[in-house]
Amino acid sequence: MLNQQHYTEGLDVWSIGCIFGELMMRATIFQGQHNMKQLDKIVDTIGYPTDDDLAFINNDHSLSYLRRLPKKAPVKWEERIPNANPLAIDLLTRMLSFSPERRISVMDAIHHPYFENFKNLGEPPVSETKFDFSWDQFELNKQLL
């Protein structure tokens, strides 16, 4: 939504963080009718980003819109999810950091203390090669459709 040209694992961590939070809350975190409304919900929830947090945004329209939003403090997850494990709240906060560069990495999330009870499962497998998306590079036409 904010940087459509640069896909990183940070986007996956954000998605997983949204699912993680929604499972704990049993409700949608950032429900919006369109991407600008969703951006409102994000700022309402995690607070207005710092200037450093805005540096990754390459979408001028979204950046201009974001700069016009009121500066808000983040919600206290402990109040929104009162029965949550404090370690789960810490992990959620790190996963839903505004800037993808400041978000917790996948491996750091896996090794977060919240998952201490799963250490006996061993290390997760890591691929030595990057996934090849070349199969998805074709021009769609009527015949293929």
Residue 10: predicted pLDDT: 87
CA distances from 34 to 31, 38, 39 (A): 9, 6, 9
**The pLDDT value given to residue 22:** 96
Report yes or no on 40 lying in a domain: yes
Residue 1 located in a structural domain: no
CATH of the domain at 83: 1.10.510.10
Could you report how far apart the first and last alpha carbons of the chain are, in Å? 27
What's the domain count of the chain?
Answer: 1
Instruction: Dump pLDDT digits (tens) for 40-50.
Output: 899 999 999 98
pTM of the model: 0.80
The helix or strand, by DSSP H or E, that contains position 70, with its residue range, turns out to be none
Evaluate whether residue 28 is within a structural domain.
Answer: yes
Residue pair 39/62 in contact by the 8 Å Cβ criterion: yes
- Containing structural domain, residue 67: 9-118
**CA distances to 25, 102, 105 from 88, in Å:** 12, 18, 16
Q: Distance (Å, rounded) from C-alpha 69 to C-alpha 98? A: 15
- Which residue stretches of the chain have pLDDT < 70? 1-6
Identify the pLDDT of residue 3.
Answer: 57
